[in-house]
A and B are shown apart, each in its own frame.
Chain A
Amino acid sequence: MKTKKAEAKKLWDELRENISKRPSPFAGMTEEEVIKQLRKTRKKLWEKKLAPRT
């Protein structure tokens, strides 16, 4: 379990470090704007998921 935790921590820290090195798609946005943007993404993915069924 200790190894799993260490591995998870390592992956998480690496991910955060890599992401910090490139421009954020949310740069300059307020928290509310980020959430709004994420809601748009959710809606788009949902429509894409439902499209083959209609």
Chain B
Amino acid sequence: MRLVLDANEYIFALGFAKKESCESLFKLLIDNFPSHPISVCRTIVEEVRTNLIPKEFQNFIKFINIISTIDEDFSIPFEIGFKYEAIGLKEADALIAAYTEWVGADVLVTENRHFLKHNPVLPFKVLTSEKCLRII
């Protein structure tokens, strides 16, 4: 099952704010690597970066390069993004949704309720870390 993990999942799992389900999800994904491929785009990496000091960011990149490869945002077809804007997602959220579709991920894991409310019309599942833990 291919996953896209939204920036908020990394932030919670890194311990910036306490959320056990996010921590458990990352632990499970690392322990079972590479059973569940993870896709990550530049926007998500940049969002995590804003909270890391340079040395930490360097290690974060090393970590990401082991578990995945970073896809550049410009690779994501614009037309997929527009489709998501049209259903009411903000531009940056639309990009993440477009990215999730483009990489053919089964699940976008996020705690962001703006995604969760669009769940029924998306071609992939949108799950919180807690729900994701139940199905993998």
A-to-B contact residues, CB < 8 Å: 1, 4-5, 7-9, 11-12, 14-16, 18-20, 24-26, 29, 31, 34-35, 38-39, 41-43, 45-46, 49-50
- Does any Cβ of A come within 8 Å of B101's Cβ? no
> How many chain-B residues does the 8 Å CB contact rule pick out?
38
Beyond A11-B60, A16-B15, A38-B47, 16 additional contacts (C-beta under 8 Å) are A5-B31, A5-B33, A7-B66, A12-B63, A15-B56, A19-B14, A20-B15, A25-B51, A34-B8, A34-B17, A35-B111, A35-B112, A38-B7, A38-B112, A45-B50, A46-B91
Whether B8 and A35, one on each chain, are in contact in the complex, defined by CB atoms closer than 8 angstroms, is yes
Whether B34 and A15, one on each chain, are in contact in the complex, defined by CB atoms closer than 8 angstroms, is no
Name the residue of chain A whose CB is nearest to the CB of B91. Answer: A46
Q: How far is the CA of A18 from the CA of B50 in the complex (A)?
A: 16
- Does any Cβ of A come within 8 Å of B132's Cβ? no
Chief secondary structure at chain B's binding surface: helix
Q: How far is the CA of A45 from the CA of B42 in the complex (A)?
A: 11
Contact of A25 among B16, B34, B47, B55 (CB under 8 A): B16
A-contact 0/1 string along B66-96, CB 8 Å cutoff: 1100000100000000000000001111010
Name the residue of chain A whose CB is nearest to the CB of B51. Answer: A25
